[in-house]
Amino acid sequence: MPTENNARKIQHGIIDLSGWDLETDGIVNLDGDWEFYWNRFIQPDQFYQENPPLPDGYIYVPHPWNDFKYQGKPLDGAGFCTYRLRIVSDHFPSVVTLDINSLSTSYVMYINGTEVAKVGQIGTSKDEMIAEYRPIIVSFAPEGNVMDVVIQMSNFHHSQGGLWDKITLGTEKEIRLNHNSGTALFLLIAGSLIIIGLYHLAMYSLNNYTKSPFFLGILSINLGVRSLITGDMTIYYFIPSIPWELLVRVEYFTVVIGISVFVLYQYNLFKEHFNKTALYIVLGVTGIYTVVILFSSAYFFTSILDYYLIINGIFILYALIVNIQAIIYKNESAWGFMVAFIILMVSYINDTLNAMEIITTGYFSSIGILAFIGIQAVTLSAKLTGAFRTVEKQNFELTIHREKLEEHVKIRTEELEKANTRLKKMTVIDALTQIPNRRRFDEYIDTEWARLKRVKQPMSLVLCDIDYFKKYNDNYGHQQGDDCLEQVAQALKNSVKRPGDLVARYGGEEFCSVLPNTPTDGAEKIAEEMRRNIQSLKIPHEKSDVSEFVSISIGVAEMTPADNNKAAELIELADKSLYSAKDSGRNCVICLSGD
């Protein structure tokens, strides 16, 4: 199996492979300091202009960009950027190949100005980009002695972004052999774990007087599934079009399922030493995190994983203490569990030290997992041979445990329902402008339409659009564009006085206001006040064709709800009036009535 060389390092965006023959010396990891351009998509030809762009610094790869300090502060996961690496060699093979695993979370790769790979859809905002994980192998015929690698990347969906996984360079034969060998290993491990899991579930179905085989079976299958969707992401061989959002949620579900089942498995092995309060705490925290995974965005639930793992890290220490107590009291399963646990921990420590490049022994966590499950299977089988003598006692204990667990779950469910209600409230506010969002607008206009229909009172709708906002963004940048949106939103919000009047962000640079019990003349006055308030902000806009300051075009529509009309017709009418305002030169108010 070809080896990967770590001796050649990238320094200041350049790796010198002079004297290194990819055909005879093997694969090279492209680890080290790449050029980094934050919040910029740099085209390859721009680097060869008279005044090429300068990097914001050098960032270590493989590693998320989150730790990179930009303007004195570390980045968060959301954003877009350009990576650049120059590979210099005195002799390239006729064809070189790159092995690229999952990167976070969409990118386009160029080599010497030619697009060679595209995963997902890059963009400068969450709405523009499409996230995707897809390991790929890229072959390229280099010309000359330099390969200029440019990667444009964006991430607004995961809490960590960037080139977080290794990229290797070599000949096509060795790269594919190395890749296929890794894939075969992951398939072997995943298949073995799933088969062991199915065996224990079958054993439990025949003899269900103890739940240990069941929990070990679920744990083994869960780890087998996780092996397919992590590492070399072998799942893509079976489901090539799996959606990114679904894949990430399944990946994180394997974490919470694995921890929950591991806790329950150990509890069933060492009930007499395991504190039930500790069990309930771990299951409660895991339950809460499971709800977060179900109902929150991927960006949010991936951002709090570390806190969840810290809590469970404390539990691992407690689990070790329980295991030691079980050994002292000569529990028949204790030594087998301890040996398996040590093997698993050593494999994880080994992988961590390899990732930190302290040692170069290779990665063995997958083998450690398989060894852990295998030892547990042998230990459990030995234990079950003598378990028939205690079947009645165990059934009694499990009945009591189940009743208390159901009571606990009932309490937790009520708490989670309250937490879910609070989370739903958070979903109706626009994160940038801190005014109601489109979802809240849709709910509110339908509610008010039904109310006004009963009392036969009019409703007016105001639609606003910032004039030439794209030019504003292009000229001043997206950060200043966000500041502009915030100021406009607050000015519009302050323009309405009644509690029943709602100002919301309709989408992009569009805003809207629902004005119940308001005829056209009243709505026109409010709209004109909105327009003047925006003008009074005096936000410079040198690219506007209608004003030196930021201005808005406003469309106003009015209808009286009845059986023969709908709220959607009012929205359509307001949209027409907004377009009329734009056609009339912008920075004005146009009113239409549907009655």
Q: What is the predicted pLDDT for the residue at 2? A: 40
For residue 197, how far is the Cα from the chain centroid?
A: 29
Reduced to 3 states (helix: H, G, I; strand: E, B; else coil), residue 578 is helix
pLDDT tens, residue order, the chain (595 aa): 344 444 567 889 999 998 898 989 889 999 999 999 999 999 999 999 989 999 999 999 999 999 899 988 999 899 999 999 999 998 899 999 999 988 888 999 999 999 999 999 999 999 999 999 889 999 999 988 999 999 999 999 999 999 988 899 999 999 999 888 888 888 888 899 899 999 889 888 887 767 888 988 998 998 888 888 887 788 888 888 889 999 999 989 988 998 899 889 888 888 888 888 888 888 999 999 999 999 999 999 999 988 888 888 888 888 888 889 888 888 877 888 888 888 878 877 776 666 555 666 666 677 888 888 888 888 777 766 665 555 556 677 778 888 888 888 888 888 888 777 666 666 889 989 999 999 999 999 999 999 999 999 999 999 999 999 999 999 999 999 999 999 999 999 999 999 999 999 999 999 999 999 999 999 999 999 999 999 999 999 999 999 999 999 999 999 999 989 999 999 999 999 999 999 999 999 999 987 6
35 classed as catalytic: no
Quick count: other Cβ atoms within 10 Å of Cβ 506? 19
Do 432 and 522 meet the contact criterion of CB atoms below 8 Å apart? no
Name the residue with tokens 């080139």.
163
Do 182 and 232 meet the contact criterion of CB atoms below 8 Å apart? yes
Of 35, 509, 524, 558, which is the active-site residue? 509
Q: What is the predicted pLDDT for the residue at 68? A: 93
Do 558 and 460 meet the contact criterion of CB atoms below 8 Å apart? yes
Quick count: other Cβ atoms within 10 Å of Cβ 286? 21
Interaxial angle between packed helices 469-476 and 478-495, expressed in degrees from 0 to 180 and rounded to the nearest 10 = 140
The contacts of residue 78 (CB under 8 Å, 6+ apart) are 126, 155, 156, 161, 299
Q: Is the peptide bond before 62 cis (omega within 30 degrees of 0)?
A: yes
Quick count: other Cβ atoms within 10 Å of Cβ 206? 7
For residue 183, how far is the Cα from the chain centroid?
A: 24
Nearest alpha carbon to residue 242 among 225, 258, 257: 225
Do 512 and 496 meet the contact criterion of CB atoms below 8 Å apart? no
CA torsion angle 446 451 454 460 (round to 10): -70
Q: What is the predicted pLDDT for the residue at 376? A: 83
- DSSP letter at 144 equals S
* Structure tokens, 438: 């489109």
Q: What is the predicted pLDDT for the residue at 3? A: 42
Helix (H) or strand (E) holding 97: strand 96-100
CA torsion angle 66 70 72 76 (round to 10): -30
Q: What is the predicted pLDDT for the residue at 524? A: 93
* Structure tokens, 41: 């998509």
The contacts of residue 346 (CB under 8 Å, 6+ apart) are 368
Question: What are the φ/ψ torsions at residue 304 (nearest 5 degrees)?
Answer: -105, 10
Interaxial angle between packed helices 478-495 and 520-537, expressed in degrees from 0 to 180 and rounded to the nearest 10 = 140
Do 426 and 419 meet the contact criterion of CB atoms below 8 Å apart? no
- DSSP letter at 4 equals E
The contacts of residue 504 (CB under 8 Å, 6+ apart) are 430, 435, 436, 437, 438, 440, 441, 444, 511, 512, 513, 514
Half-sphere exposure of 340 (CA within 13 A, CB side): 20
Reduced to 3 states (helix: H, G, I; strand: E, B; else coil), residue 515 is strand
Helix (H) or strand (E) holding 38: strand 32-38
Reduced to 3 states (helix: H, G, I; strand: E, B; else coil), residue 156 is coil
SS (H, E, C) 275-327: CHHHHHHHHHHHHHHHHHHHHCCHHHHHHCHHHHHHHHHHHHHHHHHHHHHHH
Residue 585: exposure state from Cβ atoms within 10 A (0-12, 13-18, ≥19): exposed
d(Cα 349, Cα 578) in Å, to the nearest integer? 62
Quick count: other Cβ atoms within 10 Å of Cβ 312? 19
Maximum distance among all Cα pairs of the chain, rounded to whole angstroms: 90
Q: What is the predicted pLDDT for the residue at 387? A: 55
Name the residue with tokens 């808005």.
552
Strands 459-466 and 167-170: unpaired
Nearest alpha carbon to residue 97 among 133, 141, 61, 62: 141
Do 581 and 556 meet the contact criterion of CB atoms below 8 Å apart? no
- Whole-prediction pTM: 0.59
d(Cα 557, Cα 551) in Å, to the nearest integer? 20
